Homo-oligomer: A and B are copies of this chain.
């Protein structure tokens, strides 16, 4: 019997009590689904994750992919797990039924997928990349491209990648150089070098579909000159079967600190032979198309971070309950039995921080998934539009703020175990190493911070931003009039949202170049302010529901609900004040970033 790495009771609480996903099943698009079916899918994911993904978690860290004659050799466990995942139908879970998918709400699919991420992120990554690539083609591919490339991905036969970065262009995608030369038949010959490509080469499945950014010869510099291409590892023949090699050459592997089971490659295209690509969308629209996949990947990354936080919490909690060590300060008799670690207040503190991140993170992850569902399936256009805006605004906050907090949670998980946590005999150090990638990839957290203040706050005349503030204020107001226990929390959230709104207004008020540099210099402070506020809000949403249920709950369920309310209070006492401090730093507008020259750094 494996320890569950995601607490199912809490997951169900979020799905059914906080988010009321059954309302989604009433939307025409999801009408063929129901709660028993959704529960069964989550059950299956939990079981497969424990039985097929988890056992090789350490093995894949010890046995990194190796390159042999231009091919990548992966441990067999990876392909075996993905085959079980495929057979259970997971690759096509969320794709619309008209595209051959199961049309499951993303909320349910993500509640399932987080189990795979918690159990073995290195394998889950392949599945996530393929799903996101399929999603991109569902949106931007032609019917023929969907049929030839997307359908095999939904069937789990082809894999997908994102091929964006280049050695000289990571965060600065406008500087990519890979060139696409138009061929007479409408396809393109690509030539260049791509860096940091996860799953860029391996022998699983029948083919790899690289979604590759490139410049059509003569395109303008910068992002406006970027187009998107389907670049298969093996070209398809007339019947859509993978045939000859497309000269996507493995130029090297990146050896990482963690997530070692996900092969990360340097790829050269157009070397020693043509690499043929098909354009997706219009020339120059490459980055916009890519963002369909990128946004999904960012949410996936943060969900992975939350999965690690949850795994770390469950594992360190179990250890803390079992391991006897020390006594309370007032237990003077050295011959008295030692108490379990969980009894010590300082250990309790480290557990509670983890609980807050793990469960607040799950709630936020599924809230975002529900926004994606409403964006795709709400019956009224304004509802779809609002959901899209809110999702856009929340994505960088979820990605950046939660991935930092989740790493801090894994740090605490290790610390609870002490020396044991630092050894490779326990999985905590591996979760910690794996999780450390999340603040970096799919746009570093610095990039996310700049995206939030530099773009998301002001986009669509600030309507998405206002929607977020209004949504959080509604929760605050509802709590404030609820009852004496929640009212102070409602009032404090209200103040925090006010502060967030004011700060955003001030930071974006100074027009022109000086204003932008000023805002960028405080981007991470602003992210801290936004993240702490959003986190307090999602916790208050959980606490409100828990509070409503508590009176009627049987004794057996009351501890669980009470624990949520106390955790919410703990978040308000320990996390929310950090936002206030960040607002203080912005208001002070400390001069170091202007006064400190490079030479002064030493």
Contacts and interface: CB of A to CB of B under 8 A. Distances in A.
Interface of A: 7, 9-10, 165, 168-172, 174-175, 195-196, 220-224, 254-258, 317, 321, 324-330, 334-335, 338, 342, 344-352, 355, 359, 407, 411, 414-415, 418-419, 421-425, 429, 432-433, 436-437, 439-441, 444-446, 449-450, 454, 512-513, 516-517, 519-521, 523-524, 559-560, 562-563, 566, 569-570, 573-574, 577-578, 581, 584-585, 588, 590-593, 595-602
Nearest to A588: B573
Contacts of A328: 517
Given A446-B346, A520-B346, A436 B422 contact: yes
Given A175-B334, A255-B424, A349-B521, 5 more contacts: A10-B602, A317-B602, A349-B593, A352-B596, A422-B440
A335 B221 contact: yes
Nearest to A428: B257
B342 A598 contact: yes
A367 to B, nearest CB: 20
B599 A334 contact: no
A570 B590 contact: yes
Nearest to A317: B601
A602 B563 contact: yes
Contact of A256 (B223, B422, B599): B422
Contacts of A563: 596, 599-602
A352 B600 CA distance: 10
A427 to B, nearest CB: 11
A232 to B, nearest CB: 25
B418 A255 contact: no
B446 A415 contact: yes
A343 B460 CA distance: 30
A203 to B, nearest CB: 23
Where chain A touches its partner, the secondary structure class is helix
Contacts of A254: 419, 423, 425
A334 B450 contact: no
Total copies of this chain within the assembly: 2
Contacts of A578: 581
Contacts of A597: 559
6 contacts: A168-B338, A170-B419, A255-B425, A433-B433, A570-B592, A573-B590
A171 B317 contact: no
B596 A566 contact: yes
B418 A170 contact: yes
A359 B600 CA distance: 13
Contact of A334 (B195, B221, B590): B221
Contacts of A327: 172
Given A317-B601, A516-B329, A521-B345, A424 B257 contact: yes
Nearest to A512: B330
Nearest to A444: B418
A326 to B, nearest CB: 4
Contact of A577 (B346, B562, B584): B584
Question: What 7 pairs between A and B have smallest CB-CB spacing?
Answer: A222-B334, A563-B600, A330-B513, A345-B521, A329-B516, A257-B429, A172-B326
Contacts of A440: 414-415, 418-419, 421-422
A429 B437 CA distance: 11
Nearest to A314: B602
Nearest to A565: B600
A569 B596 CA distance: 11
Contact of A524 (B196, B346, B601): B346
Q: Which of A346, A355, A439, A588: most chain B CB closer than 10 A?
A: A346
Q: Which of A351, A432, A592, A595: most chain B CB closer than 10 A?
A: A592
Contacts of A338: 168, 172, 175
Contacts of A255: 423-425
A321 B598 contact: yes
A569 B444 CA distance: 27
A351 B601 contact: yes
A593 B328 CA distance: 13
A189 B557 CA distance: 56
Contacts of A195: 419
A325 B573 contact: no
Contacts of A174: 334
Contacts of A175: 334, 338
Contact of A172 (B325, B359, B421, B596): B325
A573 B559 contact: no
B566 A600 contact: yes
A523 to B, nearest CB: 6
A377 to B, nearest CB: 32
Contacts of A446: 344, 346-347, 350, 415
Q: Which of A345, A415, A591, A598: most chain B CB closer than 10 A?
A: A345
Contacts of A223: 334
A580 to B, nearest CB: 8
Contacts of A523: 345-346
Contacts of A436: 411, 414, 422, 429, 432
